[in-house]
A = this chain, B = another copy of it.
């Protein structure tokens, strides 16, 4: 836990935030138990799939899922994420080409025999047809820093952890709202920055 690099931070654009009372409702115990069993059962049906349905969903569903992900906690509340939704077939295909090119280098050179061997049982490779097939691609980027109005850097503490937590909420939302379908490999996407 060391100081991260950066050219200085000016917090003066943000006011001091007073503590405010927070008195949320708490469910009765039997409701908690029932909900927690249901949620586990549903989440346990999620799979990381590599063959994806071309059937679309309303765009508002995708937007709401991303809004939910954006409620994730983040280091010093910096919210260091960018979500990009792509539905244009040409752009999806360009993304597929970029990803496959990088992944082929990963498989052939970067990952090494051990890693390839560990993945063998999953029969993955660098061909990612689903990037053309899926109605939407959600690209997720971490922002290592932001830019303040005075052009100085604003450090984003724990940016990778924060973005990954947001991804977890995104996955839960997709599983809850769409049904267990349409799930990309987020790990894979996140590694291509």
Interface on A for B, CB 8 Å cutoff?
1-4, 6, 8-9, 11, 14-17, 19, 22, 24-27, 29, 32-33, 35-37, 39-40, 43-49, 53, 55, 57-58, 60-61, 64-65, 67-69, 71-77, 106, 110-112, 114-115, 117-123, 155, 157-158, 160-173, 176-181, 185-187, 190-191
Contact = CB atoms under 8 A, between A and B. Distances in A.
A173 to B, nearest CB: 6
Given A29-B57, A161-B187, A167-B168, 15 more contacts: A9-B114, A22-B49, A22-B180, A25-B180, A26-B55, A33-B60, A39-B173, A39-B176, A69-B168, A72-B171, A76-B119, A118-B155, A161-B164, A165-B165, A168-B172
B169 A171 contact: yes
A171 B2 contact: no
Contacts of A36: 60-61, 64-65, 68, 173, 176-177
B121 A2 contact: no
Contacts of A27: 177-179
A75 B191 CA distance: 11
Total copies of this chain within the assembly: 2
A155 B114 contact: yes
A171 B2 CA distance: 26
B40 A9 contact: no
A62 to B, nearest CB: 9
A75 B48 CA distance: 11
Contacts of A121: 11, 14-17
Closest CB pairs A-B (n = 5): A168-B168, A164-B164, A36-B64, A3-B112, A24-B180
Contact of A67 (B15, B29, B40, B71): B40
